[in-house]
Chains A and B, each alone.
Chain A
Amino acid sequence: MLRKISLKRALTYLSVGCAALAVSLLSPAHAQVKELKVGYMKNPIQEASVDIMEKWAKKNGVKLVKIPMAYSIFQEKVTATLTSGNDQFDVIWHNDDWGQLWIKWLARMDDVKGMDRVSKHPLDAFYDEDGKVSAVPMAHTVGTFFYRTDLVKPEEVPTTWAELVSVSQRLQKEGKVKWGYVGGMAMNNTWFSLWWTMWGNKCDIFMPMWERDNKKLNAAGWKPALTEPCTKEYVEFWWDALYTHKISPEAMTSYTRDEANAIFMAGDAAFTLVDSTHFGDFNSPKKSRIAGKVAMAPQPMGPRGEKPFAWNEIWGWGIPKGVPADRQKLAKEMLGAMLTDMEGQKAMWDATGGPPPSMDAWDILSKDDKVFADLKNAVFDQNIGTHSAYYFPAWPAVHKAYSDVMIGALKGKREDIPKAMAAGMDAVHKAANGGQ
């Protein structure tokens, strides 16, 4: 009897509990808990930008859910999410490489507060046919040539490939470093070796060189520039760097920027080229043995170069169209707050070396920040003649096909490089044309 009563009581409590839970979940008070989900890559600059947003979120009673993802799967994962139409993310990291790939699925951002105070050229990748933009800049990503100040005086910094080889070999011979130059070369890291030398030698992936107007490239049939003499020159430069001059490790063909950065930060190399956003890591005594001994300089030029090349792109934030209107509005409010938070942007620059998105922040930094002046000299005052990617949906496929051709050539014999380039023409062309 007693057991029966207890069971009845327990069932009553359970029913009341469930009802209370249902009421609390459906009540207006619960609906007022605002939440925004941010999908991003674990990277100092992105974390710094998320910190600015989090500051706003705390002040405005918004819960910010952070969803970090690995770079190696980011584009694939987000593409799948966007095309499936679900609202897994309210805000996503957006990169110029994918500007046109995702344009259909992202909201337009022209109405975000502070968008009138950002640089327009780096946003080229994100415009639709109506001239509306699909990203809010988070930071500028600029390939920056870094050198060790304890090994090389500013006047000794290489300005040409030939000097890069000779200075590297001298330092190696003197036993000061194991390697002259390290940089990522494996797929998705091509900028940090092959590509900076490609553009630095007035070369490109497709003909006509340095053209980014898809209509003109289409008219030219997306013809790869692999068999051009300028290509042969930069591929041979890397082949020699790996096997003849040995200024770079042979395994560099498999390095991502993580491995290259690790070697540079261990003090085993004199030069590297990577996004300026890694400057913070290089100068962090907790992570780097060369903290305080790193400076920036213009990229060394190839034999055809007249002025050091540089690229100036952005990483940004996008909002999927599938996100409900009220959350889109809230997300835009948050991104506007990030874009107009000068204090936050300055802190981001100080912590990471990532040039802030707002020109107002640039004005502040230009006045009294020596490192920013160095970066301006190394990048923004140089020849920003083209973009460091092509802006069409097949770009990831082109990148992969190009990377396979180049790594294949660098693993072969030097005299076979022209043959490898000629053999790769079809693969790169097909990749640009959707595999056809």
Chain B
Amino acid sequence: MGTPGPDKAPGKPGKSFALRWLALNEKTRFSLLLLAPSGIMLILFQIVPILIGANASFRDWSLYDPQRTWVGLQHYIYILTDPNFLYLVLPNTLLLMVSSVSIGLVLGLALAHMLNKHFFGHAIVQTVILLPLMVAPVIASMMMRWIFNDQFGVVAAVIGALGFGQIAWLSDRWPSFAIIVFTDVWLWTPWFTILLLAGLRSLPKEPYEAAAIDAASKWRVFTHVTLPMMRPIMAVCIVIRSIDCFRTFDQVWVISGGGPARQTEVFSIYAYTEAFVYLNFGRGTAAAIIGAIIIGTLGWGLYKLLNRFMEVSR
């Protein structure tokens, strides 16, 4: 029985896991145990697949003939120099993100504000507003595709009745893009509404009472009292929704398939096409990782910016 070596000495970097574990206080140990199942799940179902995917992105890995030979950064260089990715896919993705999130936020805030007041039929209106949240995006997108069909669609019928003739919505770039944005906004505005409504209901009453004493107008109360207090919630909504919107797939795939001629292609369609249409799993994975890096950086930047903005406004 020898004395413990320097690597096993308590408090030294090399000390064993058991000793480190015992060195933690009971509360920390209990917290870590509670976190363990979700941590294990996260590693198994998120981290490991990402690492496997990252490995594929450095290899020649076609789905029908997976050679798996190391090609280094070849796929990354291809994507980052692909004019379609740089000048079509990325701008489309960012445009979809900015337009959908900003319109959704404004509408969500308006609806939340409306629902924050009591009126006759409040419960029914609230239920109706929340209905799109219960519709699967793929179903909603199919509905929209037929609603905007130039021959049978409801919109075509109304526009035709107004004497505007038939509009080939889905065969042109910007009309199809507008329908995609519209669908995304329709689907996600209720989500904004719920969160913002919860935020509105949790605001303190005192600032409103003070504003009432000062005889501030409703608009002034909204812009100078409500909005500043709602900024933290709005910031969280914007960050979460922007990240989610960046990876939108169903709406674009069903409504336009990224067409006409790739004109409405967004990042997720690009990665999917590379992996499952061109069957180039390596390149598809590289595209997905590039996208993840972009949205990670963007999300982090956005969060920092909004945080700073909130600090300044306090």
Residues of chain A at the chain B interface (Cβ within 8 Å): 72, 76, 79-80, 83, 101-102, 104, 178, 186-187, 249-254, 259, 262-263, 266, 268, 393-394, 396-397, 400, 404-405, 407-408, 411, 431, 434-435
Residues of chain B at the chain A interface (Cβ within 8 Å): 62-66, 78, 149-152, 166, 168-172, 176, 253, 256-257, 259-262, 272-273, 276-280, 283
Q: Are A254 and B63 in contact (CB under 8 A)?
A: no
**Residues of A contacting B168 with CB < 8 Å?**
249-251, 253-254
Residue ID in chain B nearest A409 by CB atoms: B261
What distance in Å separates the Cβ of A411 from its nearest Cβ neighbour in chain B? Answer: 5
Q: Are B283 and A435 in contact (CB under 8 A)?
A: yes
Q: Are A393 and B64 in contact (CB under 8 A)?
A: yes
Q: Please provide the 9 A-B residue pairs with the shortest distance between their CB atoms, ordered closest to farther.
A: A408-B261, A251-B168, A76-B276, A254-B170, A254-B171, A251-B150, A250-B168, A397-B278, A407-B261
Q: Are A251 and B66 in contact (CB under 8 A)?
A: no
Q: Are B151 and A400 in contact (CB under 8 A)?
A: no
What are 14 of the A-B contact pairs (CB < 8 Å)?
A: A76-B272, A79-B64, A104-B64, A250-B150, A252-B171, A254-B171, A259-B151, A266-B151, A266-B152, A393-B65, A397-B279, A408-B260, A411-B260, A434-B280
Q: In the bound complex, how far is the Cα of B65 from the Cα of A263, in angstroms?
A: 41
What distance in Å separates the Cβ of B264 from its nearest Cβ neighbour in chain A? Answer: 11
Q: Are A253 and B66 in contact (CB under 8 A)?
A: no
Q: Which of A249, A266, A411, A431 has the largest count of B CB atoms less than 10 A from its CB? A: A411
**Residues of A contacting B276 with CB < 8 Å?**
76, 79-80
Q: Are B171 and A250 in contact (CB under 8 A)?
A: yes
Beyond A76-B277, A407-B261, list 17 extra A-B contacts (CB 8 Å): A76-B276, A79-B276, A79-B279, A80-B276, A101-B279, A186-B259, A250-B150, A254-B171, A259-B151, A393-B62, A397-B278, A397-B279, A400-B277, A407-B260, A411-B261, A434-B280, A435-B280
Q: In the bound complex, how far is the Cα of B170 from the Cα of A104, in angstroms?
A: 38
State whether A435 and B277 are in contact (beta carbons under 8 Å apart), knowing that A249-B150, A250-B171, A251-B168 are contacts in the complex.
no
Q: In the bound complex, how far is the Cα of B63 from the Cα of A397, in angstroms?
A: 12
**Residues of B contacting A186 with CB < 8 Å?**
257, 259
Q: Are B171 and A251 in contact (CB under 8 A)?
A: yes
Q: Contacting A254 at CB < 8 Å: which of B66, B78, B260, B278?
A: B260
Residue ID in chain A nearest B173 by CB atoms: A411
What distance in Å separates the Cβ of B281 from its nearest Cβ neighbour in chain A? Answer: 8
**Residues of A contacting B171 with CB < 8 Å?**
250-254, 411
Q: In the bound complex, how far is the Cα of B273 from the Cα of A263, in angstroms?
A: 29
**Residues of B contacting A405 with CB < 8 Å?**
261
Q: Are A254 and B280 in contact (CB under 8 A)?
A: no
**Residues of B contacting A254 with CB < 8 Å?**
168, 170-171, 176, 256, 259-260
Q: In the bound complex, how far is the Cα of B260 from the Cα of A250, in angstroms?
A: 12
**Residues of B contacting A76 with CB < 8 Å?**
272, 276-277
**Residues of A contacting B262 with CB < 8 Å?**
404, 408
Residue ID in chain B nearest A405 by CB atoms: B261
Q: In the bound complex, how far is the Cα of B283 from the Cα of A249, in angstroms?
A: 37
Q: Are B169 and A251 in contact (CB under 8 A)?
A: yes
Residue ID in chain A nearest B60 by CB atoms: A434
Residue ID in chain B nearest A260 by CB atoms: B151
Q: In the bound complex, how far is the Cα of B260 from the Cα of A435, in angstroms?
A: 21
Q: In the bound complex, how far is the Cα of B150 from the Cα of A79, in angstroms?
A: 34
